[in-house]
Structure 1
Amino acid sequence: CQEFAPDIILLDLRMPVLSGTDMLEQLRAEDWGKNIRVIVLTNISRSEAPAKLRYLNVDRYIVKAHHTPQQILDVVKEVLA
């Protein structure tokens, strides 16, 4: 990713190999990943999310079950604006 840094990352907290929180922690540790916009898009409620997520510079936290695809797209556009 050092050759190509994305404008935004949509990140689930439940992933098969590495948790989303651990992935975000590794991303933020890299110079190229410090300022990338991140939207957490998950079905884990905010109250159940790992506490350290608060310190990892997340732009938005979206619970998938509570939003339509159009609402999610609107949030992505807002964050990128």
Structure 2
Amino acid sequence: TGERPYTCPDCAKSFSTSSALNNHNRIHTGEKPYTCPQCQKSFSQRSNLRKHQRLHIDDGPCERPYRCLECGKSFARISVLIDHQRIHT
């Protein structure tokens, strides 16, 4: 209960499972083993690949139709654009 016996040797953050530590270690190593088959972009976490794949509409290129008028950065979802725009205020 609450035990976190797996500790990162680089930053001392601790985890309850060895797989969580392995996932965390990718922050330090830069390893990105999960690659999108449509655009070849790579990710360190499988969940981030799955989230990314939702950007591919009808097997097309990454769709990011919502553009910030302040800095030009584009987003796939308007809610993320709205959150982003707060950095400019």
TM-score by length of 1: 0.21
TM-score by length of 2: 0.20
